[in-house]
Amino acid sequence: MPYSNILKDHLARPRNAGELADANRVAEQTNPACGDRLKLSLRVRGGRIEAARFLAYGCPPTLACGSVLTELIEGLTVDEALRVSRAEIIAAVGGLPARKTHAAALAVETLHQAIGQIHRQV
Amino acid sequence: MDNSATTPVDRRVVEAMMPYLTEKFGNPSSVHFYGQEARAAVDRARREVAALINARPNEIVLLSGGTEANNDTVLITVMLANNEIGTVQPIAEIGTLVRELRAGGRKYLWLHTDGVQALGRMPVNVETLGCDLLSMSAHKLHAPQGVGALYVRRSVRLAPQNIGGHQERERRGGTEAVSMIVAFGTAAALAREELDARIAHMRALRARFEAGVTERISDVIFNGDTERRLPHISNVSFRFIEGEGLLINLDMQGVAVSTGSACSSGSLEPSPVIRALGRGDELARGSIRFSIGKDTTDEDIDYVLEVLPRAVENLRRLSPLYQQAIAERACTAV
């Protein structure tokens, strides 16, 4: 179980955990295979993500990717946020074991759903 | 809190094995003094291992550990006690059934049981159990990893797995790991001598742990039979959260535990043992095994009880399942 110290730190001290009372974008995605869940709430003003909060249930990578995602996207414009990739999220948690990369995919999908674009990636 | 995985080597065991790593280095097959000294040590250890399970010394095959001991071909094999929840299986009843079937003509029906978790944690008596084969591992008994034994009842003939040497009555060729075997023998003798005290100690600590958990953490479920289980294991499902996250949180605070569930390649493999108890995926994913050892102290338990509620609370604060449950409960209360 070779998790990075960065990932463990996000697990011990999750950033931006919770929900925004004044969110205007909320999305929740479940990985149908393993049941991992990620809920994202955003406050978007003037095309910019002012605040992001997350809730997550599942394996440590899912929790850490949710935490990292909120850090990555706060302050970005919506267009910039849509360009945040799985690889970027994986790098930001200090790497993921190959069998756990689906956690980053769940984060990207939830973000795209929140922003309002259905993400289709082959 | 992970003594089911392995145990620290007892200081007395290290002292007993040290001479066989230094000046007493003989090969038990050698005829000279050094060889005979090693032979005597292996025989003494064999007697101690046999005594621990009420077997005869010549029914003990010394080998590398529990896995090797389990690698034989037999018809019926049931764990003596489950390693995840500690439930003790009715081996004696199965043993009676097997003996009846054998008397009725099924001559080659053998009963094997894996005693790795049970040894040193409950009385194990091969006569009462009625088993024909029993696997043992030394490292669960405060001896080093890499040594174990298989009990083989007198009437059972096994094909050797290691050939090329006459050791272990042709059943397991290869020069004996004398120092390791001496360690195993010493650990077995200590386990037999201290068994009642160890059981009482572990049971008391587990009661303290479970009472503390019940008092300090909501929405917990203890898994397994509360009566027929080993004294050192407490398997707990924490609702709304997943076990591996809790394991890492505890690990970062110096508490080592185990979880039976694994999520890999995006597909969930929740603990089959917890699922078999009739629990759903969420409870199976949220299960953690705490296992106490003879050297665990009241202070160790109190430390776990101090950090565990916080770790659970931190993960629950993150959990959409928990937030949903709180909201629903608030609605019900209103």
All structural domains of chain B with their residue ranges: 11-193, 195-333
Residue whose pair of structure tokens reads 């394996």 in the numeric block: A59
The whole-number pLDDT of residue B80 equals 86
Which residues from A are below 8 Å from B241, CB to CB? Answer: 57
Cβ atoms within 10 Å, residue B222: 14
Q: What angle do CA B3, B225, B251 make, to 5 degrees?
A: 30
CA A8 to chain centre: 16
**Beta-bridge partners for A66:** none
Distance between CA B40 and CA B38 in Å, rounded?
5
Tokens of B112: 């094997």
CATH code for the part of the protein at B195-333: 3.90.1150.10
Q: What is the pLDDT of residue B158?
A: 78
Residues in CB range of B189: below 8 A, 6 or more apart: B48, B51, B52
Report the C-alpha gap between A46 and B278 in whole angstroms. 51
Q: What is the pLDDT along chain B (334 residues), one digit of tens a residue?
A: 999 889 999 999 999 999 998 889 888 988 788 888 999 999 999 999 999 999 999 999 998 887 777 768 556 778 888 888 889 989 899 989 988 988 888 878 889 899 999 999 999 999 999 999 999 999 999 999 999 999 999 988 877 777 777 788 777 878 888 999 999 999 999 999 999 999 999 999 999 999 999 999 999 999 988 889 999 999 999 999 999 999 999 999 999 998 876 665 556 677 788 888 888 888 888 899 999 999 999 999 999 999 999 999 999 999 999 999 998 988 887 6
CB B65 within 8 A of CB B172: no
Q: Which of A8, A58, A102 sits opposite B248 (nearest CB)?
A: A8
Question: Where does chain A have alpha helices with state H?
Answer: 5-12, 60-73, 78-82, 86-92, 102-115
Q: Which residues of B touch A11 (CB under 8 A)?
A: 245, 248-249
CA-based nearest residue to B162, from B64, B81, B88, B15:
B64
Nearest CA distance, B237 vs chain A (angstrom) = 14
Which ipTM was obtained for this model?
0.89
Which region holds residue B147: left if phi is over 0, alpha if psi is between -120 and 50, else beta?
Answer: beta
Bridge partners (DSSP) of residue B81 are B88
Residue B292 phi/psi, 5-degree rounding, is -95, 150
Q: Which residues of A touch B244 (CB under 8 A)?
A: 1, 59-60
Burial (0-12, 13-18, 19+ Cβ within 10 Å), B56: middle
8 Å CB contact of A57 and B244: no
For residues B271 and B287, the answer to whether their CB atoms sit within 8 Å is: yes
Chains A–B, number of C-beta pairs less than 8 Å apart: 69
Q: Per the residue annotation, which of B75, B207, B263, B268 is the catalytic one?
A: B263
Please enumerate residues of A whose Cβ is less than 8 A from a Cβ of B. Answer: 1, 3, 8, 11-12, 14, 17-19, 28, 31, 33-37, 39, 54-60, 63, 66, 99-100, 102
| CATH number given to B11-193 | 3.40.640.10
User: Which positions in chain B touch A70 (Cβ < 8 Å)?
Assistant: none
How close is the nearest chain A Cα to the Cα of B326, in Å? 13
Question: Is the Cβ pair A33, B241 closer than 8 Å?
Answer: no
Q: What residue ranges define each of the domains in chain A, with the CATH number in brackets? A: 5-115 (3.90.1010.10)
pLDDT in tens, A60-119: 999 999 999 999 999 999 999 999 999 999 999 999 998 889 999 999 999 999 998 655
Question: In the prediction, which pLDDT does B149 show?
Answer: 94
